[in-house]
């Protein structure tokens, strides 16, 4: 699962914003799995680095730097 999380984070870092459906298609996950991965990732940091609504997922520049330092 760690490899999937790294790929997921890398994908988000390289994008300005991503539609939930795009993540579902790209990673072949269900919407529930996408939401769980984002929840797990956010819980591993002191603050939310992945921000989402029902339609769109994005990361702030600060969030991208935090994730980059941890995973790469």
pLDDT, tens digit, for every residue of 12-53?
999 999 999 999 999 999 999 999 988 988 898 888 899 988
Which pLDDT belongs to residue 1?
64
In the chain, domain spans:
2-71
Is the model's pLDDT at 54 over the cut of 90? no
Q: Give the separation between CA 56 and CA 17, rounded to whole angstroms.
A: 7
Contact 60, 50 (CB under 8 A): no
User: What's the CA gap between 23 and 29, in Å, rounded?
Assistant: 8
Classify domain 2-71 at the CATH class level: mainly alpha
Which residues have a Cβ under 8 Å from the Cβ of 37 and sit 6 or more positions away? 4, 5, 8, 29
């Amino acid at each position: 699962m760690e490899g999937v999380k790294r790929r997921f984070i890398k994908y988000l870092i390289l994008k300005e914003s991503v539609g939930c459906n795009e993540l579902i298609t790209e990673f072949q996950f269900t919407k529930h799995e996408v939401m769980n991965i984002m929840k797990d990732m956010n819980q591993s940091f002191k603050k939310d680095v992945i921000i989402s609504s029902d339609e769109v997922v994005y990361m702030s520049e600060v969030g991208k730097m935090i994730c980059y330092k941890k995973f790469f």
